[in-house]
Structure 1
Amino acid sequence: MGVLDHIGITVSDLDRAIAFYEAAFAPLGVSEQMRVPGELTGYGDVVGYGAAGKPEIWLSGGAPTEPHVHIALVAASRAAVDAFYAAAMAAGGTDNGGPGIRPHYHANYYGAFVLDPDGHNIEAVCHRPE
């Protein structure tokens, strides 16, 4: 059993964030799983991303979360980490550490870090040797 069920991130421009996360998450097999309209939340639309029908990362509009958050997503392969990084950068992300081994974590830690349009640190990581 995991520790987290889901996490929420507040972004300054929900439409811009949706475009960024759709592109960045696609290589990892993560996509929109649910959208709850503002009429139900009372403060605006929220969009849940995950896989297999389970939203785990929720985006909502408003003032961006301060301090910024760091989220690391599991990648099935190093190639998926590379694809995440390329897609996130093409979608308007800012480099925060390109794909590569991070031996200070462990010998097989292969990750890439991108800041989303609001400055949140989004990472894809593969722990498998390849």
Structure 2
Amino acid sequence: MIGYTMVGTNDLEKAIRFYDPLMAEMGLDGCYRDDLSTSWGRKGDDRFPLFFVGYPFDREPATVGNGVMTAFRFDNNAALVDWLYAMALKNGGSDEGPPGFRPQYGEGFYGAYVRDPDGNKLAFVCYDAEPIT
């Protein structure tokens, strides 16, 4: 259903420094890069959705929309959610909700929320995390 997602930036090099290690940890390849944008996905698989970060097409400053968020989902891997959250904060992101279970979204829903250096909101989630006993 999703072909690609794009979030805006006002500093592409800073955004690349933030996203490159996260995408590598998620097993995503760098797919396209020029002076205006960069993307990650599965190189050579045009059916796999891409995630882009770039300067807005209209050349106006990038702004963040309230309520807009991109969620990256992982199967039963709360440890990866924890790791990505920590890596995002280390690379210039800010906290929007620490890792943990969110039973209001489902029994096994485990997620963490961050903002990138431009203020774009990201989530790292798994829907089937095992409860900690």
Q: TM-score range by the shorter chain?
A: 0.7 to 0.9
Identical-residue share of aligned pairs (%):
34
Any residues of structure 2 matched to 1:10-21 within 5 Å, and which? 10-21=8-19
Distance 1:15 1:94 in 2: 18
Give the drift of 1:128.
1.6
Q: Structure 2 stretches of 5 or more lacking a match?
A: none
What does the per-residue CA deviation read over 1:69-97, in whole Å, with 9 as the maximum and x for residues that have no partner? 31000123111101110110100110000
Q: Secondary structure at the match of 2:105?
A: coil
- 1:57 corresponding residue in structure 2: 51
The answer for the alignment partner of 1:116 in structure 2 is 116
The CA distance in 1 between the partners of 2:24 and 2:82, in whole Å, is 12
**1:28 aligns with one of 26, 29, 38:** 26
SS in structure 1 opposite 2:104? Answer: coil
Please give the alpha-carbon distance, in whole angstroms, between the structure 2 residues aligned to 1:52 and 1:80.
22
4+ long deviations beyond 6 Å: none
2: CA distance, partners of 1:49 / 1:21: 9
For 1:52 and 1:110, locate their aligned partners in 2 and report how far apart those are by CA, in whole Å: 28
Unaligned runs of 5+ in 1: 38-43
CA RMSD in angstroms comes to: 1.8
Q: 1-side partners of 2:63 and 2:44: how far apart?
A: 26
